[in-house]
């Protein structure tokens, strides 16, 4: 029987990491990094994680999950023998593996612990050498970790804690069979922590199979709230679409744009460069070095625009994204909300813009209804001054927006039919 409790909000008096039971040296390391107050998911889960319980955390990307599992992991880690890590973090993407490593590495160094990221698309030998040199914590994508298991580079007999991050994305990307294979090979007693935007469906089956009496918490920010975002749907012409996107990007510091395909991602980045916008593309067809370079430039602000496909953007954790622009409207509301959540992170407000071609209006209206968004689709051209500051511009109501000739004819026709029936 699973002993599970759930809370939907942080209702605790704890305001510091020290109050959560973390050792003083880690609290000091956090303070040196300017981190003094825990996020809700951290305050909820860290005490139980430190106590050794299996923990499920329902929280979205950007809510502080990395420290929620990473701090207890570091606090309890013991020195590792060569090839025998004591802690394992499973993540869905290479980008997330690097980001988790960047967050945990400075804290681990405070205790002379080594952290290594292992993922596909990068040379294997440096990763093998790092594990053989005695890395305590391994941050891994499932496929590459299984490769290392099969080569007998890494042994799981000393694993004391496993964290599964972004479990829902693992499921969406088809990685759960690999996760299950790894979990079956973790020997002996160990603690398991799982963090996900949802704890149901395939994620729920993972919890039942590999966790023991887990305590479950849901932070308030576990779900992306469309209410924290300003939504703008713009009807644009195909020939003017790139210029509209460029005009929006010029008005803010950092824009994340989404396209439907890899080819479209490359093409949009190139066209934006022609418009004088320093844009980088990131998608699964690029070499890992190019993906890392693109993300680094976007994060530092050297490239104010990052053009991404859905899969490549999974797990991206970049603060200060001013605008999420759906250059190609998503096919479903879940994708719309997930993409849009790259802005409005951790309670901040954000702007979400969707470009809609003339023949995509009906699909866009259907998407709005399913996603719970109510805003008019307003026609704009690239020379429209409103594009420079869409946040301060309030879209008109249906009565305020001038009718197109086609819409006027349609309404007149409806009026004539009504009068005939009277």
CA distance linking residue 56 with residue 68, whole number of Å: 11
Burial of 303 (0-12, 13-18, 19+ CB in 10 A): buried
From residue 308, give the alpha-carbon distance in Å to each of 107, 169, 289, 294, 342: 30, 17, 16, 10, 12
Residue with tokens 């929280």: 59
Sign for the pseudo-dihedral over CA of 208, 334, 91, 23: negative
DSSP assignment letter at 364 = H
Residue 128 contacts residue 58 (beta carbons within 8 Å): no
pLDDT of residue 412: 47
Reported as type and span, the H/E element at residue 306 is: strand 305-308
Reported as a single tens digit per residue, the pLDDT across 346-395 is: 445 678 999 999 999 999 999 898 888 889 999 999 999 999 988 888 88
Question: In the chain, what are the domains?
Answer: 18-222 (3.40.50.300), 226-397 (3.40.50.300)
Task: Quickly list H helices, 237-309.
Answer: 241-250, 262-274, 288-300
Partners of residue 194 on adjacent β-strands: 56, 164
Low-confidence ranges of the chain (pLDDT < 50): 1-14, 221-224, 344-347, 399-422
Please return the burial class of 340, using the count of CB atoms within 10 Å of its CB with bins 0-12, 13-18 and 19+.
Answer: buried
Over residues 214-238, the pLDDT tens digits come to 999 987 543 445 666 789 999 999 9
- The pLDDT score that the predictor gives to residue 200 is 86
| Residues 221 and 346: beta-carbon distance below 8 Å | yes
pTM above 0.85, yes or no: no
């Amino acid at each position: 029987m699973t002993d599970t409790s759930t809370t939907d909000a942080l209702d605790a008096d704890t305001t510091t990491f020290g109050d959560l039971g973390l050792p003083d040296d880690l609290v000091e390391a956090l303070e040196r990094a300017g981190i003094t107050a825990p996020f809700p998911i951290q305050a909820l889960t860290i005490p139980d994680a430190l106590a050794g319980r299996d923990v499920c955390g329902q929280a979205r990307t950007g809510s502080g999950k990395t420290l929620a599992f990473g701090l207890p992991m570091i606090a309890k880690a013991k020195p590792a023998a060569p090839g025998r890590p004591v802690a394992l973090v499973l993540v869905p993407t290479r980008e997330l593996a690097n980001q988790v490593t960047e967050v945990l590495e400075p804290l681990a160094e405070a205790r002379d612990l080594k952290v290594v990221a292992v993922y596909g698309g990068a040379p294997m030998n440096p990763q093998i050498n790092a594990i053989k040199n005695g890395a305590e914590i391994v941050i891994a994508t499932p496929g590459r970790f299984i490769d290392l298991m099969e080569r007998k580079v890494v042994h799981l007999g000393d694993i004391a804690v496993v964290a599964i991050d972004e479990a829902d994305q693992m499921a969406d990307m088809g990685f759960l069979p690999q996760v299950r294979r790894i979990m079956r090979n973790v020997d002996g007693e160990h603690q398991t922590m799982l963090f996900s935007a949802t704890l149901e469906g395939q994620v729920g089956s993972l919890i039942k199979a590999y966790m023991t009496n887990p305590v479950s918490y849901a932070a308030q920010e576990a779900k992306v709230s469309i209410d924290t975002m300003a939504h703008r749907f713009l009807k644009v012409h195909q020939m003017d679409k790139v210029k509209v996107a460029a005009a929006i990007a010029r008005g803010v510091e950092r824009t994340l744009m989404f396209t439907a395909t890899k080819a479209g991602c490359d093409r949009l980045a190139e066209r934006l460069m022609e418009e004088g916008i320093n844009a980088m593309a990131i998608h699964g067809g690029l070499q890992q070095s190019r993906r890392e370079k693109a993300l680094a430039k976007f994060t530092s602000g050297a490239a104010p625009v990052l053009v991404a496909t859905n899969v490549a953007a999974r797990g991206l954790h970049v603060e200060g994204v001013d605008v999420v622009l759906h250059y190609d409207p998503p096919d479903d509301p879940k994708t719309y909300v997930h993409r849009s959540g790259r802005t409005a992170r951790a309670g901040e407000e954000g702007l979400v813009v969707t470009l809609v071609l003339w023949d995509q209006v009906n699909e866009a209206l259907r998407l709005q209804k399913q996603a719970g968004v109510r805003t008019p689709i307003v026609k704009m051209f690239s020379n429209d001054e409103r594009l420079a500051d869409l946040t301060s511009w309030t879209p008109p109501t249906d009565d305020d927006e001038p009718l197109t000739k086609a819409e006027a004819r349609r309404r007149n026709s409806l009026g004539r039919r009504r009068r005939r029936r009277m």
